[in-house]
């Protein structure tokens, strides 16, 4: 589908049945062969889709709304707007920055927010796997490290300190993957942050990882096998910049910036042809 919306103001989600495009004031459920189903919601900035519902911030609270459409339900009061949410199944976390500049990662404990971690350095690139929340922390302008905290309240754990440009995304559902801008390579980090290895020297931004590694770049969309580490082009010569990629075991979907306030959503089955 195409929509008169900026591609940089949307996010994507997948379940077994549909692709979901989330914009500031609506969510669109996209199923092949059916008209796009638009659901009016005040999703604002940084919503997330759990297994059953959209989670978002509005009017001083965190809300849940069924992904099939329906009335929103208040989950918790939260006067300050989070930067964005992440989810895993029905688990939830978010990153926030206080008026004093401190960053924090928070989760819900019943109907009350609970802080998992605070930092004076910037926190970015959250990814949630089960109860584990992975993040990038920048202790200084020129240094960064990957951290891990858990919604169960365990002590945070950190990987090695790096110099240079910090990754903007962490991806993966078992190990952690990111695109190293300075090395122009995909890096894999073990789930316990104890070790890392270079997968492939290739431009991969945006990146998403499910059973394969999916990469967007100016040349198009391609995949990298976790086993052979060889790239395979899936869609070349895009009509604009690829701004977001999402995947599962059956489907990969991505958004393309077609120009000012215009985007396309394209999908591809693992062994199929792209659809728009």
Write out pLDDT tens, residues 93-119. Answer: 999 999 899 999 999 999 999 999 999
Query: Model pTM?
Result: 0.93
Residues 222-270 pLDDT 10s: 999 999 999 999 999 889 999 999 999 889 999 999 999 999 999 999 7
- SS (HEC) of 244-271: EEEECCCEEEEEEEEECCEEEEEEEECC
Average confidence score pLDDT of the chain: 93
Between CA 107 and CA 263 the distance in angstroms is: 32
For residue 275, what pLDDT band results from cuts at 50, 70 and 90? low
For residue 274, what pLDDT band results from cuts at 50, 70 and 90? low
Instruction: Spell 4-26 as b/e; 16+ CB within 10 A means b.
Output: ebbbeebbbbbeeebbbbbbeeb
Residues 169-207 pLDDT 10s: 999 999 999 999 999 999 999 999 999 999 999 999 999
Residues 212-230 pLDDT 10s: 999 999 899 999 999 999 9
- Consecutive H or E run containing 172: none
- Three-state secondary-structure class, residue 238: coil
Long-range contacts of residues 169-175, Cβ cutoff 8 Å, at least 24 apart = 169/125, 169/127, 169/205, 169/206, 169/207, 170/125, 170/126, 170/127, 170/134, 170/135, 170/136, 170/146, 171/127, 171/207, 171/208, 171/209, 171/213, 172/127, 172/129, 172/209, 173/129, 173/209, 173/210, 174/129
Identify the sign of the CA torsion 4, 247, 275, 254: positive
How confident is the model over 23-44, as a mean pLDDT?
90
CA angle 261, 60, 133 (to 5 degrees): 75
Residues 42-57 pLDDT 10s: 999 999 999 999 999 9
Which has the higher per-residue pLDDT, 33 or 11? 11
Residue 238, pLDDT score: 85
DSSP letters spanning 43-99: --SS-EE-SSEEEEEETTEEEEEETTS---EEEEE-SSPPSEEEEETTEEEEEEE-T
272: pLDDT strictly greater than 60: no
Strands in 112-119's sheet, in edge-to-edge order, are 84-88, 91-97, 103-109, 112-119
271: pLDDT strictly greater than 90: no
Q: Domains of the chain by range and CATH?
A: 178-276 (2.120.10.30)
Between CA 210 and CA 174 the distance in angstroms is: 9
- For residue 8, report the phi and psi dihedrals to the nearest 5 degrees: -85, 0
125: pLDDT strictly greater than 90: yes
Residue 16, pLDDT score: 87
For residue 37, what pLDDT band results from cuts at 50, 70 and 90? confident
132: pLDDT strictly greater than 80: yes
Task: Quote the percentage of the chain above a pLDDT of 70.
Answer: 98
Say if residues 238 and 256 touch (Cβ distance below 8 Å): yes
How confident is the model over 136-159, as a mean pLDDT?
94
157: pLDDT strictly greater than 90: yes
């Amino acid at each position: 589908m195409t929509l008169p919306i900026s591609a940089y103001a949307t996010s994507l989600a997948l379940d077994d049945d549909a692709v979901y495009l989330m914009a500031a004031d609506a969510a669109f459920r996209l199923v092949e062969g059916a008209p796009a189903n638009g659901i009016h919601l005040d999703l604002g900035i940084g919503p997330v889709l759990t297994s059953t519902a959209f989670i978002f911030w509005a009017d001083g609270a965190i809300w849940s709304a069924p992904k099939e459409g329906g009335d929103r339900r208040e989950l918790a009061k939260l006067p300050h707007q989070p930067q964005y949410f992440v989810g895993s199944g029905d688990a939830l976390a978010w990153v926030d920055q206080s008026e004093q500049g401190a960053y924090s990662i928070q989760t819900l404990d019943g109907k009350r927010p609970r802080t998992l971690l605070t930092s004076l350095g910037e926190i970015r690139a959250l990814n949630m796997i089960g109860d584990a929340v992975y993040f990038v922390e920048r202790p200084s302008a020129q240094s960064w490290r990957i951290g891990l905290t858990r919604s169960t309240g365990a002590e945070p754990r950190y990987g090695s300190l790096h110099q240079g440009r910090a990754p903007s995304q962490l991806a993966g559902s078992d190990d952690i993957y990111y695109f190293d801008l300075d090395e122009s390579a995909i890096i894999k980090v073990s789930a316990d942050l104890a070790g890392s290895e270079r997968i492939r020297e290739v431009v991969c931004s945006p990146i998403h990882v499910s059973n394969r590694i999916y990469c967007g770049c100016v040349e198009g969309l391609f995949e990298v096998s976790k086993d052979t580490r060889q790239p395979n082009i899936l869609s070349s010569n895009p009509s604009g910049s690829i701004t977001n990629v999402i995947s599962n075991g059956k489907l990969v979907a991505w958004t393309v910036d077609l120009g000012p306030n215009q985007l396309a959503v394209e999908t591809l089955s693992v062994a199929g042809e792209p659809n728009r």
